[in-house]
Structure 1
Amino acid sequence: MRRSSSSFSSSILYGFLLSVFLLVSAAGAARTEPSALVEEQPLVLKYHNGLLLKGDYTFNVVWYGKFTPSQRAILIDFVQSLTLNPGRSASPSPSVASWWKTTEKYKAGPTNLRLGKQISDEACSLGKSLRTGDIVRLASKVSGRNVITAVFTAKDVAVEGFCMSRCGTHGSARSATNPKSRFAYVWVGNPETQCPGQCAWPFHQPIYGPQTPPLVAPNGDVGVDGMIINLATVLAGTVTNPFNNGYFQGPPEAPLEAVSACPGVFGTGAYPGYPGKTLHDGPTRSSYNARGVNGRKYLLPAMWDPRTSSCSTLV
C-alpha cells in the first residue's frame, strides 16, 4: 500500500492470496492426518468504527487502453446489475443484485450505484506502464461528491504490482475541486495476457496448486470475466472499508476484506483447486452463479456475511 497526504489505497491481494492458498493447501493435503483435523474457527472481520459508503453513489468509469465494445458491455452490464434501478425488472435468481445485498448487512443500509460518466483514454496518455499515483490521477478526472470512480486498464497496460501482488486496488484520494473531501476509486486490470493464472482463475489454470481443468467463462472472455471477479472484490471492499478503518481483518496495509477474506470460493463445497458448485449454461457449457441485466451471467466470489461470520455464496 502507498500512502501520502493526498491518497491511500488498499491493494486487493486476491490473486496472490489465491496462489498461496492453493500452493499451501496442495502441499498439506498429502500429509493430513485425522489427528490434525480441528474444528474451524469462525472468520471475523472486525469493524474499526470508520465511515462506510452507504446511500446513493454515482459510478464513473475511465477506460485506459483499448477495450472492444463487447468487453465494455460485459463490465457495464455488471455494474448496472448491482442495483435494481427504476424502470428495470429484477434479474432472475440467483442474481448479481442479491449478491450485492450482502453489503447491506455491514452496519445496515444499502449502497445504490448508478452509472455516471465514462471517459476513454485509448491512446494511453500516461504510457503503458503505470504507477499507483497514475491510477489516482486518472480517477481524479471524473471524481466528485458521492462518486466511486473505476479505472479499467487494457490487457497490454502494465500497472505497479499487477500480477505480482495484486489483481486490483481500491482507495481514496482528495478531490481536486474540494481538498477537504475525498473520493473513492477502484482499479482493475485485464489479466488476459499478463497473468490469467493468477487474476482470472478459475477460467484459467492456476500457476500453483491443483491443475484441474478451468471453467468456461460465462461471457466468453477469460480476461474480462476475470476482471468481473476482481471488480466485485474491490467494490465490496470499497463500500465496507473505504478509508482503511471499516471492516477488515489483519494489518490495515494488507487487509482481508469482505471478499478477499474468502479466496478461491465461488460456491458450496469449494476446496483448493475446486471453486465449488456453479450453475451451467447448456449451449456454451460455461459456469456462472449470478444473473444480471440484459441476460448476462457472471461468476461472483463468496462474500463474508457479518451475521453468520462465514463466507456466503449464491449457490
Structure 2
Amino acid sequence: MGGSGYRSISGSAGLVAKFLVFFCLAQLGLSVLVNEEPLVLNYHNGPLLTSKPNLDVHLIWYGKFSAVQRSILGDFVESLGAGAPLPSVFSWWKTTEGYKDLSNEVPAPTKTHTRLGKQKLDEAYSLGKSLKRTDIGTLVLRTVSSGALPVDDNAVYLLLTSQDVIVERFCMGSCGSHASIVVGKTALPYAWVGNSESQCPGQCAWPFHQPLYGPQSPPLLPPNGDVGIDGMIINVATVLAGAVTNPFNSGYFQGQSSAPLEAVSACPGIYGTGAYPGFPGNLLVDNTTGASYNAHGVKGRMFLLPAIWNPATRSCKTLV
C-alpha cells in the first residue's frame, strides 16, 4: 500500500483530555479559565483536492447495513454539495474554501460541488469480520482495481464498516481515519469510519451516548433515530474534511505528521456555542422528535456536525 499513511481521528479522546485538565485544575482550587494559544493549522505546501471541478465521494459498504442506514448516510454525502435551509451541511462544508494551496486554489468542493459517487456493497465480509488497518487500503484497492469504482484522483473513497466488524485500533483512540493508496501512478485518497453502536458508542457516538469518561449527562436524541449512523456521520464529516484539506499528509494540520490535528479533529467535543467538556453546546431541537441537530441537509434531513477550524478567524466554527 502506497501513500502517506493513516491519520486517525479520535472521537472523544480530545474531549476526555480537556475534561481531565479541567477536573485537575478544579481539584487544585485553581481557576478553570485557561488562556489557550491561538489555534493554527499550518500549511505544509502539499496538494489539496483541487485538480478537477467536482469532488466525488465513492462509498464502499463493508458488512450489513440496512437500506435505511445507507440512505441516511448517502443523503449526508449529497448534502455536502447541495443547498438546504440554513444552517446547512453545505454551508459547513464551504468552510474548506479558506484552505488554499500554493497556487491560491481552494479545495474542489467549493469550486462547484461535492457529489455522491458510485457505491459498492460488500455484504459477504470478503476479508472477514476482523480487519487490520492494512486491510482497509486493500479493500479500497481491490474495489478500484476490479472496476467496481472508477480511478479518480479527485475523489475520496469512503469505506464504512458495520457494527459487527472489528477493525484494528477501532475504539482505542480512533473512530475513523484517512490515508491514500497508489494505483498505477495515481495517488487516491481514501477514508474509513466504523459503526460504533455495539462496540464503543461512548467514545465514537457521543453526544448520542453517554461518554466513556467525564460528566455523565443524558445523551442527546439522534436526528435520524440511529445512534450508530448519526455517530458515524460525525466521524465521516471529520475524515472527509481531513481528506480534502490534508489528503497526502502535506496539507493543513497542527502537530506531528504521524498524529496530526486537522480541520475537524483540532476542535474536539464542540458542536454549538457555549460548548465545554461534557456539554456539546447550544443546539437546535426538532419540535416533533426532540432530537438535537445543527445542520439541515437534502430531503429534509437533519444532522449534527462537529466544529471545523476556520482559517479566516483561526478558530473553531460552529453552525449554531
Amino acid at match of 1:10: R
- In the alignment, structure 2 segments of 5+ residues that lack a partner are 144-148
Whether the 8 Å contact between 1:143 and 1:149 is mirrored in structure 2 is no
What is the rounded CA distance, in whole Å, between the counterparts of 1:168 and 1:66 in structure 2? 18
Aligned length: 303
Which residue of the other structure, out of 16, 20, 23, is the alignment partner of 1:23? 20
1:256 aligns with 2:261: yes
Whether the 8 Å contact between 2:61 and 2:121 is mirrored in structure 1 is yes
* Residue in 2 that maps onto 1:298: 303
* Residue in 2 that maps onto 1:167: 175
| CA shift for structure 1 position 123 | 1.2
Query: Normalised by the size of structure 2, how large is the TM-score?
Result: 0.91
Which residue of the other structure, out of 73, 81, 84, is the alignment partner of 1:83? 81
Q: Deviation per CA, 1:127-146, whole angstroms, max 9, x where unpaired?
A: 00001121112212135122
Tell me the C-alpha RMSD between the 2 structures.
1.5
Q: Alpha carbons of 1:115 and 1:65: their partners in 2 closer, same or farther (altered >3 Å)? A: same
1:195 aligns with 2:181: no
1:60 aligns with 2:58: yes
SS in structure 2 of the partner of residue 8 of structure 1: coil
What is the rounded CA distance, in whole Å, between the counterparts of 1:139 and 1:205 in structure 2? 33
Deviates more, 1:182-191 or 1:106-115: 106-115
* Residue in 1 that maps onto 2:118: 117
Q: Deviation per CA, 1:2-40, whole angstroms, max 9, x where unpaired?
A: xx6456221112333233333333343343524x74533
| CA shift for structure 1 position 194 | 0.2
Whether the 8 Å contact between 1:7 and 1:174 is mirrored in structure 2 is no
Q: How does 1:1-315 map to 2 (within 5 A)?
A: 5=2, 8-34=5-31, 37-54=33-50, 55-84=53-82, 90-107=83-100, 109=106, 110-111=108-109, 112-140=113-141, 141=143, 142=149, 144-145=151-152, 146-175=154-183, 179-315=184-320
| CA shift for structure 1 position 57 | 1.8
| CA shift for structure 1 position 116 | 1.8
Q: Alpha carbons of 1:24 and 1:78: their partners in 2 closer, same or farther (altered >3 Å)? A: same
| CA shift for structure 1 position 258 | 0.3
Amino acid at match of 1:116: G
Whether the 8 Å contact between 1:143 and 1:183 is mirrored in structure 2 is no
Query: Normalised by the size of structure 1, how large is the TM-score?
Result: 0.92
